């Protein structure tokens, strides 16, 4: 399974008539050399970080987290019943990526099952807290890597959309994770954000379209 967006390219900005300066849109985070993926730190630690990110775009496979095994792992965690929560409970490996797409920089987190299959992806939006994203990656030992993916050829685009008609689509949600303070156990809720900018909506629509996904909630297609 492929993941990510378009091939990452540096952005160049002209500083003067004879000078060209390269700007890294991901310069807000240190890009040290380290393994790209890390084992999932567990729900308790993820529950501490995900609510700090603010509004995000959540893409999830329609079948992810629906099996008996996922249900068993989900039961004792203290998470409320939500498709995203079930994926988090079954997550075994995390990868973070960044790329430059037609609508600007993208950064996202991939959640893999124990079979190393991507079950869900969390995309940052203009409304997301980038500083908390960097702090989370540093705390969990995640080093975002550049996505290396060419633009799909025309026949692949048609194939992807054809497969989406047979239920093999990513399900898209605008989410904001929250931790109720009154809970005895760490509980993470996943709900639609109370506020989101027009720019955030437009970027979310672009990502959903690029990934052949379908909106589940709210309906923004």
Per-residue pLDDT, 34: 41
Cα–Cα distance between 32 and 217 in angstroms, integer? Answer: 37
Distance between CA atoms of 26 and 148, rounded to whole angstroms?
15
What is the rounded end-to-end Cα distance, in angstroms, of the chain?
24
pTM exceeds 0.85 for this model = no
Give the phi and the psi of residue 88 in degrees, each rounded to 5. Answer: -60, -35
Please spell the DSSP secondary structure of the chain, one letter per residue: ---S-SPP--EEEEEETTEEEEE-TTTTS---S--SEEE---HHHHHHHGGGG-SEEEEEETTTT-SHHHHHHHGGGT--S-HHHHHHHH--EEEEEEEEETTEEEEEEEEE-TTS-EEEEEEE-TTS-HHHHHHHHHHHT---EE---PPPPHHHHHHHHHHHTTT--EEEEEEEEE--TT-SS---EEE--S---HHHHHHHHHHHHHTT-EEEES---
User: Tens digit of pLDDT per residue, the chain (221 long)?
Assistant: 444 443 334 433 344 444 444 456 666 654 444 445 566 666 778 888 999 999 999 999 876 544 434 443 433 444 556 778 778 888 889 999 999 988 889 999 999 988 889 999 999 999 999 999 999 999 999 999 998 654 444 444 455 555 555 556 899 999 999 877 655 665 678 889 999 999 999 999 999 999 989 998 766 65
Give the pLDDT score at 139.
92
Nearest to 94 by CA among 127, 48, 46: 46
Which pLDDT score is estimated for 128? 98
- Residue closest to 43 by CA, chosen among 77, 69, 14, 80: 77
Residue 209 Cα distances to 22, 118, 171, 205, 212, angstroms: 29, 19, 11, 6, 5
Compute the half-sphere exposure of residue 186: CA atoms within 13 Å on the CB side of its CA. Answer: 14
């Amino acid at each position: 399974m492929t993941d990510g967006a378009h091939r990452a390219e540096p952005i160049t900005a002209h500083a003067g008539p004879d000078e060209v300066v390269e700007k890294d849109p991901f310069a807000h985070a240190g890009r040290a050399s380290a393994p790209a993926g890390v084992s999932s730190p567990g729900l308790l630690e993820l529950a501490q970080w995900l609510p700090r990110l603010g509004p995000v775009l959540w893409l999830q496979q329609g079948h992810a987290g629906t099996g008996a095994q996922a249900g068993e792992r989900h039961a004792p965690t203290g998470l409320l019943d939500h498709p995203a929560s079930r994926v988090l409970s079954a997550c075994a490996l995390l990868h973070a990526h960044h790329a430059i797409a037609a609508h600007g920089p993208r950064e996202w987190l991939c959640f893999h099952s124990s079979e190393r299959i991507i079950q869900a992806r969390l995309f940052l939006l203009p409304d997301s807290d980038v500083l908390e994203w960097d702090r989370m990656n540093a705390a969990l030992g995640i080093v975002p890597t550049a996505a290396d993916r060419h633009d799909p050829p025309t026949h692949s685009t048609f194939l992807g959309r054809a497969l989406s008609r047979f239920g093999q689509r990513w399900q898209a949600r605008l989410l904001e994770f929250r931790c109720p303070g009154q809970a005895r156990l760490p509980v993470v809720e996943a709900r639609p954000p109370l506020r989101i900018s027009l720019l955030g909506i437009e970027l979310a629509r672009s990502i959903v379209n690029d990934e052949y996904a379908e909106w589940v909630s709210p309906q923004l297609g």
